[in-house]
Amino acid sequence: MKESPLRLEVRGVSKTYGAMRALDRVAFDLRPGEVHALLGHNGAGKSTMVKVLSGVVQADEGSVLIDGVEVHPRNPRQAQSSGVALVDQELSLVGTLTVAENLAVGADRATAPGRTELRATLDELGLAHVPLNELVSKLSLGEQQLVEIARALSRRAQILILDEPTATLSDTEIDMVFTAVRRLVAEGRSVIYVSHRLGEVLSLCQRATVFRDGRCVGTRDVADLDRDSIVEMMLGHLPEMATREHRAESTDEPVLTVSGLSVPPRLSDFELSLRPGEVVGIAGQVGCGASEVLRAIAGLVPDATGDVTVQGRKVRLGGPRRSARAGVLYTPSDRKEEGLFLGHSIARNVVATRIPRLAQLGVLRPGAERTQVSDLLGLTGIPVARRRLPVGSLSGGNQQKVLMARSLHADPSSVLLLDEPTRGVDVGGRADIHALIRRAADQGVAVIFASTELDEVLELSDTVVTMFGGRMVDVHQRAELTASRVLADMTHGRAVVEVA
């Protein structure tokens, strides 16, 4: 039989969940030695397509061919035996196990590679410095992501699916992943790359297939695309970006003051004053200390030290209930581990932090709950008709919107803390979330958000705090700031700010 010139062919694949058609006769192909992007807004069908290819779900109709042979994987193990391996955006490594033990998890004993082969795979991915007996918990996020890739490759995968592989990584760690991907495709393996970071797609991928509303809009050479053309294919139009005049320095009394905030050894001497309606962006790479700032103010770090004052009243650190009672609202970056109850409905997740206010004599009032759910989902753009679906069934971006919705009706005297507010969210959803943040600020809510994305910091912030290595580098009013200045602070820690 003549060998197929295509590594993968997807022909007319459809998948329906109840009344929702998640995939509608999707077709695309993948070539040997190619990095091929799957793009689309949240809920467009990318995640369902990935699940079909990796054997997590089965298509209702259509066919999938690998190297010219039709396959019907009923589970991830069968998909792996066909040469397909998935590296999900949520790491599945066990931190208390060694690298070698994690590489062995789920492997077929009869065909599992030995330590020599595992060592060679790690070396190939740039992890020659990582011992096989090292605990995974001691590795950086980038190194852990590469171990995930190594595990997939140790199954002898010829098709590697990377789903948002850089969502939580620093620039240095992203470079490690990109170097590994380029090395793999140079050997003739194929990579399906799912990402909302269009800059990565334009620099790494050869072709892109765009999904919209469960359908394949088209496949194009990346060389013929730019950001605007990709966004227009994804949404059917270019979104209008909400605009807001960046505030001049306010003379209002601060709603929040932070002094000498430290979380040894990850954060030292953080200082900040935040006024009503002000949006402060903390810019830095993963591990810079920005997350520790937000978590400490929210009362989630027992060993935090320093002074935090809200509305003129000192708040004792290390108690999330105390911080919440003071008017501090916190949205974490890790929605699955810390933010959402994945097995519960969208509705219950949206009101999870409001149940005492929706109850009477300890009994939840259904009418009050329905009204609150309708109001909050209306702000996010998620159809109210979907409120009973498990939140775990949503795309990552829509899960993020549900998590954000809890804080959208904040009291004007509140302080809103957002850690990576648009992580894993497509360009349309990102614009929606930015508009919601601005709306809250316009109503008087004081906002601090942390982001590793420079564009987001520059677009949203009235004031920018740059951080590097657990310390503040500088504080700028947005009007006086350039992208190159922020980038220099984020990546090199130009100088440590002197705070009077």
pLDDT in tens, 173-200: 788 888 888 988 998 999 999 987 888 8
Chain mean pLDDT for the chain: 85
Under DSSP, the state recorded for 254 is: P
Task: State the DSSP H helix or E strand holding residue 448, giving kind and residue range, or none if neither.
Answer: strand 446-451
Q: Phi and psi (nearest 5°) for 213?
A: 55, 40
**Which residues, at least 6 apart from 52, have a Cβ–Cβ distance to it below 8 Å?**
13, 15, 23, 58, 59, 64
Strands (E), 59-189: 61-66, 69-71, 84-87, 159-163
pLDDT in tens, 402-432: 888 877 766 777 899 999 888 767 777 788 7
Percent of the chain with pLDDT over 70: 91
- Supply the pTM of this predicted model: 0.64
Task: Report CA-CA distances (Å) from 391 to 159, 386, 397, 401.
Answer: 29, 10, 11, 11
Give me the mean pLDDT over the 117-129 stretch: 86
pLDDT in tens, 380-393: 778 888 888 888 88
**Which residues, at least 6 apart from 292, have a Cβ–Cβ distance to it below 8 Å?**
263, 266, 267, 301, 304, 470
Is 329 a residue whose pLDDT tops 80?
Answer: yes
Same topology between domain 8-235 and domain 256-492: yes
Give me the DSSP letters along 21-40.
EEEEEEEEEE-TT-EEEEE-
Every domain of the chain and the residues it spans: 8-235, 256-492
Nearest CA-CA partner of 348 in 322, 320, 376, 323: 376
8-235: CATH topology is: Rossmann fold (3.40.50)
Give me the mean pLDDT over the 282-311 stretch: 91
| Chain mean position to CA 37 | 17
Asked whether 417 and 451 are in contact (CB, 8 A), the reply is no
Assign 218 a pLDDT band (cuts: 50, 70, 90).
very high
3-state secondary structure of 157: coil
> Out of 18-32, 271-285, 409-423, which region has the weakest mean confidence (pLDDT)?
409-423
> What was the pLDDT predicted at 4?
53
Percent of the chain with pLDDT over 90: 40
Residue 456 identity (one-letter amino acid): E
Tokens for 8, please give them: 């993968």
User: How far is 267 from 261, CA to CA, in rounded Å?
Assistant: 8
Is 379 a residue whose pLDDT tops 80?
Answer: no
CA within 13 Å, CB half, 22: 22
CATH classification for the domain delimited by 256-492, as one of 2.40.160.20, 3.40.50.150, 3.30.460.80, 3.40.50.300: 3.40.50.300
Assign 249 a pLDDT band (cuts: 50, 70, 90).
low
> What was the pLDDT predicted at 125?
79
Task: Report CA-CA distances (Å) from 368 to 372, 381, 382, 409, 486.
Answer: 6, 20, 19, 15, 45
Strands (E), 174-327: 190-194, 207-212, 215-221, 256-263, 267-274, 279-283, 305-310, 313-314
